[in-house]
Amino acid sequence: MSKTNKTSDSVYTKSLTIQPYDKDRLTNLIGTVSSNLRQIEQFFGVTINNRGNYFEIVGIPKCVEKSCTVIRQVYDETLHNKSISPHNLMLILKALDQDYSDKFKDE
């Protein structure tokens, strides 16, 4: 479930609740000392606030949407992998960013 709020002309806030709630998978998604969330923030230039399975992402709309997609994708990945390495997360980020670039190039 997600909710989007426009906070100014160029900055959006989107709320995202990850389901099903699974503490171990969320821990793997977030990373040690929130390292995975910080890597997503730095890559897309957004701010991510998190409490449990609730996430709030703030930034320009396109980057907020990409960040939400990555969070969902990495959470799905935690079903099969117990740990998400910084390298694997970077591969996911770059692949998703390329997919978005190709999509908007064709429009």
How far, in Å, CA of 87 to CA of 40, rounded? 12
**pLDDT of 22 over the 90 cut:** yes
Contact 55, 69 (CB under 8 A): no
Alpha helices in the chain (DSSP H): 23-30, 35-44, 61-77, 86-106
Contact 25, 79 (CB under 8 A): yes
Higher pLDDT, 76 or 81: 76
The pLDDT-based confidence of 5 (bands split at 50, 70, 90) is: low
**pLDDT of 97 over the 90 cut:** no
